[in-house]
Amino acid sequence: MNIIDFHLQNFRNYDKEVVTFIPGINTLIGNNGQGKTNIIEGIYYLLTGKSYRVKREHELLKWDKTDFHLYGDFIVKHHKIFLESHYQNNKKRVKVNQVPCQRLSDFVGTINVVFFSPDDLIMVKGGPSERRRFIDLHIAQIRPGYVSLLNAYNKVIQQKNALLKTYNDKSLKNSQLQLWNAQIIELGTKIILQRDELTKQIQKVADQIYMNLTSQKEKLDISYYALGKKNIQDALLEFPDLLNQKMDQEIERQMVLIGPHRDDLQILLDDKPARLYASQGQQRSLVLSLKLGELELIRQEKGEYPLLLLDDVLSELDSFRRNYLIEFIESSHIQTIITMTSAESQLGSGALFQVEQGHIRRER
């Protein structure tokens, strides 16, 4: 999977810029606040219809402008794909090869991407939702239909929450709550099984990468906890009982208290919870290993590597880890776009772009 060129108009601090990338390593170099991250964010937005950094598209719009435009040419399995994204009046329009897409889920996964952002580090120390997001985004990329499944499940949760808020009496217990519980079990089971399966896959590859990154010194272990349990089969068997047991409490607190929307991933470094003990560099190495693991899994599933976006990945890594990462990228022939400030530039090969105040210039 390759990006050939990328156009930004009125996006963040860019007026109108084009970058033509090479199939190998593309380094974006520049001082702080010049627009390196904005390019990566733009590419990610074009490919997924979402920004990692913001909830509202409005912030992506260049100050005082009314619409932004992102488009680019890509190659997927020897086919050329032209993607366009246009945002105006709070509406976004996406076109694939000039054909308008109705729903996000229609094109997510068309062009796969793995993105490391310093914002991802929050998945180590942050709440369970950050970790669920990681696994969900991964599944969405390789399993068509997963986004609709999640949306349907979330709708059930919203409906049940509304029901719990409208009537808070016990009479609900045997009637209407059951209707939604039945769907929580049906859809929730599918979500749990996929999350567990894919977490196990990631664990296998990411552990190996983490070992290499730390020169065999540290061990990474990641596992999915469904309904508070590590044993997924047990959890699923008990799912109906657990829902019934929680019912009184749910009626009292007027919200759904159990289901995969409250599940978590447990991450251990050398058998200790990373959430509590991981250092800055360890957090970065860990997230990086998960992302590189994801990269490998997408290749296995889709038959080619996804595009790799690495924003500000090198800082805080010791020289051994930096060198390992650089070697990994250089030897793997994955198309990579990596940002760094001038001070840390170390990549000897590939294209080099200087980013300065919203302008991009190829230097090598």
Ligand X SMILES: Nc1ncnc2c1ncn2[C@@H]1O[C@H](COP(=O)(O)OP(=O)(O)OP(=O)(O)O)[C@@H](O)[C@H]1O
Q: What residues make contact with another protein under the rule CB under 8 A?
A: 148, 151-152, 155-156, 158-160, 162-163, 166, 176, 179-180, 182-183, 187
Contacts with Mg ion by CB under 5 A: the residue count is 1
> Which residues neighbour 175 within 8 Å (Cβ) at sequence distance 6 or greater?
none
SS (H, E, C) 53-75: CCCCHHHHECCCCCEEEEEEEEE
Q: Which segments of 267-318 does DSSP mark as H helices, in order?
A: 274-277, 280-302
CA angle (265 as vertex; 263, 270 as ends), nearest 5: 150
Of 36 and 284, CB closest to ligand X: 36
36 binds ligand X (CB under 6 A): yes
The pairing of beta strand 113-116 with beta strand 99-101? unpaired
DSSP type of residue 303: S
From another protein, Mg ion, ligand X, none, which one binds at residue 127 (CB under 5 to 8 Å depending on kind)?
A: none
Q: Which of 3, 19, 30, 275 binds ligand X (CB under 6 A)?
A: 30
Q: Which of 26, 38, 48, 203 binds ligand X (CB under 6 A)?
A: 38
Closest approach of ligand X to the CB of residue 13, in Å: 4
- 199, 232 in Cβ contact below 8 A? no
From ligand X, another protein, Mg ion, none, which one binds at residue 274 (CB under 5 to 8 Å depending on kind)?
A: none
33 binds ligand X (CB under 6 A): yes
Q: Which of 293, 312, 317, 324 binds ligand X (CB under 6 A)?
A: 312
From Mg ion, ligand X, another protein, none, which one binds at residue 107 (CB under 5 to 8 Å depending on kind)?
A: none
Q: Which residues are annotated as a binding site?
A: 30-37
Closest approach of Mg ion to the CB of residue 37, in Å: 3
178 binds ligand X (CB under 6 A): no
Dmax over CA atoms of the chain, in Å, equals 72
From Mg ion, ligand X, another protein, none, which one binds at residue 176 (CB under 5 to 8 Å depending on kind)?
A: another protein
- H or E segment and range at residue 6: strand 2-11
Q: Which of 261, 341, 354, 359 binds ligand X (CB under 6 A)?
A: 341
Q: Which of 37, 214, 335, 336 binds ligand X (CB under 6 A)?
A: 37
The b-or-e profile of 185-221 (16+ CB within 10 A means b, else e) is bebbbbbbbbbbebbebbbebbbebbeebbeeebebb
Residue with tokens 């719990």: 164
The piece of 18-26, 37-45, 210-218, 251-259 that touches Mg ion (CB under 5 A) is 37-45
C-alpha span between 84 and 65 (Å, rounded): 18
37 binds Mg ion (CB under 5 A): yes
- H or E segment and range at residue 154: helix 146-166
26 binds ligand X (CB under 6 A): no
Give me the residues that bind ligand X (CB under 6 A), please: 12-13, 30, 32-38, 59, 61-63, 312, 341, 355
Which residues here bind Mg ion, judged by CB under 5 A? 37
